[in-house]
């Protein structure tokens, strides 16, 4: 009987270990591509994959995973009582049945309203950042577009990310690259992605050595500059397909082909149509020698 119990315990531990490995496989695979396959373009789903479900909703995370995206971009704001929730706009008006500013509402008040999708009321609630991170855990990276005010809010978000054991799942987007040093010192495990609004900021970000990913603007992109950058050190160059490239691709006018002709060295692309982009990237990879 004792040997049978020991065998059962061993099998239970083995099953648990295998389950944990399977849970982490997708994220591990994405990070492997991120670090070891610089020519592989990673796809980021803007506000989740939200064609058929509300943006910044839990189902939009599920849809991004289903589409084959590597990263889901989510917007985070803070309620009056300090809860981090997913919401792009300052106000609730466009995407929910509520009205007014998010920061003027308590989380209990937000729980009473529902998300809308293209004006239609849905059964979905406004998710917390915690719910979103747990939904994504083990399956997809999360780019947090952090819109709450103040450095203390950033520290609080970092603490919650650490408490949930998802520091290795997050890319934390910064509008102001000068915040990099403070946040890196607070928790260097969380990957920072600052936005460079011009070549001077881009140079400062790269020189800092605090990150290996930067969000760039098409306004200053040129192939010779970014070829030189990628030759110096491995770096992920994030650009948007939002707007014209997405619209032209959806209309059948080759928007994605034009994007990569114009920006040869980008290797992370954010899109409102992650499924289309995944298919395009796959076809592009297969056609290259």
Catalytic residue among 46, 50, 125, 169: 46
Burial class (CB in 10 A: 0-12, 13-18, 19+), 78: buried
- CA 144 – CA 136 distance, rounded (Å): 12
36 carries an active-site annotation = no
184 carries an active-site annotation = no
Give the contacts of 89 (CB within 8 A, at least 6 positions apart): 95, 102
The gap from C-alpha 52 to its chain's centroid, in whole angstroms, comes to 19
Number of DSSP helices (H) and strands (E) in the chain, helices first: 11, 11
Catalytic residue among 50, 88, 125, 169: 88
Task: Return the closest-CA partner of residue 202 out of 191, 189, 213.
Answer: 213
SS3 category, 57: coil
Task: Return the closest-CA partner of residue 84 out of 1, 171, 155, 13.
Answer: 155
Residues marked active site are found at 46, 88
């Amino acid at each position: 009987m004792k040997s049978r119990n020991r065998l059962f315990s061993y099998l239970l531990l083995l099953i648990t270990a295998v389950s944990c490995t399977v849970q982490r496989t997708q994220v591990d695979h994405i990070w492997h591509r991120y670090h070891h396959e610089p020519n592989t373009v990673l796809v980021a789903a803007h506000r989740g994959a939200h064609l058929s479900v509300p943006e910044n909703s839990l189902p939009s995370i599920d849809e991004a995973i289903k589409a084959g995206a590597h990263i889901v971009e989510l917007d985070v704001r803070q309620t009056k009582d300090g809860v981090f929730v997913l919401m792009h706009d300052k106000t609730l008006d466009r995407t929910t049945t509520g009205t007014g500013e998010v920061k003027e509402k308590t989380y209990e008040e937000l729980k009473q309203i529902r998300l809308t999708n293209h004006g239609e009321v849905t059964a979905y609630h406004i998710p917390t950042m915690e719910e979103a991170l747990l939904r994504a855990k083990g399956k997809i990276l999360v780019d947090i577009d952090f819109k709450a005010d103040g450095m203390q809010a950033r520290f609080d978000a970092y603490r919650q990310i650490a408490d949930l054991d998802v520091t290795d799942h997050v890319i934390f987007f910064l509008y102001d690259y000068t915040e990099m040093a403070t946040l890196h010192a607070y928790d260097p495990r969380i990957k920072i992605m600052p936005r460079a609004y011009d070549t001077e900021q881009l140079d400062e970000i790269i020189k800092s050595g605090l990150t290996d990913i930067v969000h760039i603007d098409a306004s200053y992109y040129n192939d010779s500059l970014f070829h030189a950058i990628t030759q110096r050190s491995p770096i992920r160059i994030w650009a948007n397909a939002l707007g014209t490239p997405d619209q032209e691709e959806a209309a059948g006018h080759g928007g994605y082909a034009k994007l990569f002709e114009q920006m040869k060295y980008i290797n992370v692309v954010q899109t409102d149509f992650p499924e289309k982009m995944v298919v395009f990237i796959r076809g592009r990879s297969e056609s290259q020698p």
